[in-house]
Amino acid sequence: MDDATHDDASDDKSSTDTWVDDQRIYRLFSEWNALRAGGQNVSLEELCRDAPELIEPLRSCIAAMTDGEVVSRPRGEVPSQVGSYKVLRQIARGGSSSIYEAESSFPRRRVALKLLDASSSSPRIRSRFELEVRLLSALQHPGIVKVFDAGRVEMNGEERAFFTMEWIDGHGVGDYVRAQCKKGDWSTKKTVELLMGFCDALCYAHQSGVIHRDLKPANMLVDSEGRPRLIDFGIARVQPHSDMTIVAGLTSRTLVGTRPYMSPEQFDEDPSAVDARSDIYGLGVVFYELLTGKLPYDVRKRSFVQVAEVIRETPPVLPSTFDRSLRGDLETIVLTMLAKEPSERYATMQDLIADLRRYSQGFPVHAKRPTALVTFRRWCSRHPRAARLSAAAVLSLVSLSIIALWMASSAARRSDLLTTSNINLKIAKQRVEHQLEKIQRNESELRRSTLALQDSSDRMLRSNANSTLLRLSTLAERLPQEVQRKLDDEETFPASVRGFGWSLLNRMTRPDYRRFAADGGELTHVGLSADGKRVVSGGLAGIRVWDSGSLECLVHKKIVLAGNSQALDVSPTGDVVWFVSGNQKVSRLDVDQATVQDLPTGTQHKCTVICGVPGTDRYLVGDAQGSLALLAASEDQPLLWVHDVSDQPIISIALNEAGDNVGVVASDGKVEVLSLVSGQPVHRAQVGLDAAVHASWDAGLHWVSVSERTANTVLWDVRRDKLMKRWNYLGVSPQLLMSSASVSLSELKLILSGRGRVSRWAGRERESVLYDAWQFNVSVPSLESLNGDAPEASNGVDDEPRMIAVADDVPLLACALRGGDILLMPTETQAAARLLQTPYAAISGVCFSPDGKKLAVSGGGGNIDLYDFDTQTMRTVFEQSRGSVFRLRFDSQGRSLFALVPKNGLLEFPLQADNVSKQQSVDPKQRDFFLADQDIVGTCNAFQILEWDDAQRVTVGLARDAMVAVGTVDDGDCVTSARLPCPVGTRCLAILPGKNQFVTGGGNGAIDVWQTVPLKHLKRLGSAEGRIGGLAASPDGLVVASGHFGGSLLLWDTTIWQPQLILDTGLEAVRSAAFSPAGDRLAIAGGSGQIRMYETQHEASKD
């Protein structure tokens, strides 16, 4: 017996049991309704203060009349023991009683225990409870539930009645029939046979003088063996002629039942009108619902009075309206059972059983449909007033018709005169209509031609744009400016074709430039903190310290610096600036305090350069006579040591990364590496330049670059004292900076400034141009921190690089322009294609979280990592010694990560937990698939890939026998509906959102395009890039990315299925690909354990 058993106690408002004893309850209900309409709130106890025994009947009456929305009874606690019965759980609760699943100790068996509530103390309710026990005890039939025991028990100081019934392990007849139909082995004839079983039990009850009066699916159960069982005789009526007349008085003057299943006479106050034919009507409603799945009347959200009116007056909708196979004898039987008048229904249940048996055996039934005349006479008898009004209306219509005929005869002559004119007018109208139809056909044809032409034009435009993108992608590294100009051409790339491929190439060739006005005149110095957060400028207006993020001026001191380019040094965090002023003073600027401290110089000669020692108050000073001194600002004797390098001015000082050595360069090309502690030389070299003005070191003091004032720059290996590279004819004030440390020249990253350009080099080879003064035009923001108006940006000479500085820890370059502006730019042109390194030899899969802020990564060894884009950190959430992960998937809220691991089954990782590595197993019905947002996706035994197409509501799978399959999900199982063969070696599959298409790829390097519903192969797209290791579709379905084992990445335009970009990922073998939910990122994972992250937006744009 399930939770729906004995539904008489259910609090479901659609099946509320109601009764009204006498006119007193009707009067009390009318008084309550009037008070409620007037806005007053009166309790039932106050209304029934003179008759407390009517509180519960009035509560039930109100629930019936108002659809159970106003008054409810508080729920009680579930007892643990009732007499000798142990209560297991509550399964239903009603107006006066509750039903529990219980267990008896001897004999040991499960029972259904019905317990009268303590609050239901009226004699009438107790008498009705006793009546139900007597009726169930007296009715001994296999189709009627049996009573085992009854009695009274004292609970909480009150005596409460109870009885126990047999426990039925089954379902309501409605749920049972629906379940059988879903299995596909059910028919209308089986429904008839099942109903006959209930008819047999009701026939027995009627012969015993008992009318059920509350037939509904919840009270008609089918047990686990398919046998019908009747329950709930709580409101049954005993007929006066029955042998049970000793209790018949308890059921007189009663209006009872469940509204949708009550017969018309059950809504009357005359109890004598309710007999066996009322049960036939209720059974007819159930029969109608089993055959059609619907009720014969729409009584939802209607009051009790409205429901009574509908059932009394409205004829039921024909069952054949919903199922044409019901037309004929079966429909006649149902309509006979639902007749409004009891005399027109089957007289007895035996007659109904006989007609059902005739139908099931193929013989004609006795029931006949009433003729139209009989139906009309019955309607007139039910609606005498409406019939009289209709008769009067008919007589008036006849009279008016006679008058109209007389008037028509007089108008006939005039009509004849108009006939000829009408004929001529009709002919003219037909001609006009013919012309209009012709015009409309021409317009339709024109529209079709226009649409076809527009579609052809769009396809040609897309084809041209894709071909241009392919060509431009080969020039992106060498000629980024030319590529940018072409990408900005709206004729070649209008807004309609600027998709992911265009955005990616635009991002790759257009670094994130920021330009601001730093000085009203020419800038002479520029510096960057190691973390890139602060920029220091020096010019005619003095020293300024800027926040590189907000471009806000933090400090301004009107001090002009000395002429040497390294007369300025910035601490790694940008909180201290060391500088040599124009009057040869050495000073220290505390940025946070905005204070300047003059320092000892340790020499009587002019100071040229300065370098602070991070984390200390020490600093190095070089002078015009070639001496280098180390000083401590806080010491009584600040000079710690002095070393003579040359007799020419010192132009450069730099500390190595370890902080124990210092490199120094003089203007005559002499180079030395000294110990910072002792000042003794470690290495010496002589650069072949006579008039050097600028020099720069790498972090390891292995390489030094030296530049003359005009034309030439050299790169020198200090350890071997050897020239490695020379640049000639670079114009005025060239510079060569090193943005990385390496002992290998090919791995050394260089930034070269000269002839109006800033370019990036890898050893001897130029990689790309970062800035070209004659091709870039970056707008200048207005800065309130400057005195006076900020100068506007200009092209030409004012845009030429004057001096550059590189941040040590981040890829950021500050370029001081001759016009007084500073340009901030990244040194990595491939910022759109970041490389994430994992500790694994290979990566088998990647998956984005719904918000795109996290990336799940499955390593080749079966480990699972989670990369956070906000913190740019990766952490391991699952680790195993060996194995693999078949599938990764986030739920739609991003709260959990699911993974299918062969040895561990389906695992869930709650991402909101403190320790995300605390996974929990999920039981997917012992099958290898998993659940995400109630959609079945993943991998099952027959499929190596199984995906869910949310738009088509189907599964798309790649079977292990070289077949693609489309199916549905039925009760947790994947049911295949169509299969087609695919090329052997196919291992990748991606669904195109919203396009009713999916793609597959594999060993032959080709992509197959399929239609999802109905399953159909559309085309095959070949490529020369080799085996496909990963496929991904963008969220809008307009782009498909295919990653190949050779390391190449192809982007396909799915509108015309044409390649638009071919990129070299630099990975050994692509094995997985995934787009972010926003479509602004594409993750490509490979066999080298690396992930190439392609991004179409600048970080500033994302923020």
- Asked whether 462 and 497 are in contact (CB, 8 A), the reply is yes
* DSSP-H helix ranges across 865-940: none
State how far the Cα of 650 lies from the Cα of 652, in Å rounded to an integer: 6
Strand partners, 1017: 1010
Q: How far is CA 142 from CA 72, 170, 201, 383, 802, in A?
A: 36, 15, 8, 44, 104
3-class state of residue 1101 by DSSP: helix
Which amino acid belongs to residue 267? F
- Pairing state of beta strands 887-890 and 873-878? unpaired
State how far the Cα of 849 lies from the Cα of 889, in Å rounded to an integer: 8
Per the listing, tokens 């710690």 go with 640
Q: Which of 699, 766, 763 is nearest to 725 (CA)?
A: 763
Q: What is the 3-state secondary structure (H, E, C) of 45-93?
A: HHHCCCCHHHHHHHHHHHHHHCCCCCCCCCCCCCCCEECCEEEEEEEEE
Q: Which of 798, 804, 796 is nearest to 824 (CA)?
A: 804
Here the contacts of 550-554 (C-beta below 8 Å, separation 24 or greater) are 551/514, 551/516, 551/781, 551/783, 552/785, 553/783, 553/785, 553/786, 554/591
State how far the Cα of 801 lies from the Cα of 813, in Å rounded to an integer: 12
State how far the Cα of 864 lies from the Cα of 857, in Å rounded to an integer: 6
- Pairing state of beta strands 147-155 and 158-166? antiparallel
Q: Which of 1018, 1019, 1020, 1016 is nearest to 1028 (CA)?
A: 1020
- Asked whether 204 and 139 are in contact (CB, 8 A), the reply is yes
For the sheet with 735-738, list strands across it. 735-738, 749-754, 757-762, 765-772
Q: Would you state the structure tokens that stand for residue 56, as one six-digit string?
A: 């519960």
3-class state of residue 794 by DSSP: coil
Q: Would you state the structure tokens that stand for residue 54, as one six-digit string?
A: 């009517």
Of the CA atoms within 13 Å of residue 602, those in its CB half-sphere come to 27
- Asked whether 545 and 577 are in contact (CB, 8 A), the reply is yes
State how far the Cα of 1034 lies from the Cα of 848, in Å rounded to an integer: 12
Strand partners, 653: 664
* DSSP-H helix ranges across 608-748: none
| Helix, strand, coil content of the chain in percent (nearest 5) | 25, 35, 40
Rounded to 5°, the CA angle 244-250-253 comes to 120
Query: What residue ranges in 470-575 does DSSP mark as E strands?
Result: 514-517, 523-528, 534-539, 542-547, 553-557, 568-570
State how far the Cα of 828 lies from the Cα of 428, in Å rounded to an integer: 79
- Pairing state of beta strands 757-762 and 722-727? unpaired
Q: Would you state the structure tokens that stand for residue 335, as one six-digit string?
A: 């309509």
Q: Would you state the structure tokens that stand for residue 137, as one six-digit string?
A: 């005890």
Q: Would you state the structure tokens that stand for residue 424, as one six-digit string?
A: 């001529």
Q: How far is CA 800 from CA 513, 759, 803, 931, in A?
A: 15, 13, 9, 60
**Catalytic member of 8, 17, 117, 214:** 214
Question: Is 214 in the active site?
Answer: yes
As annotated, the active-site residues are 214
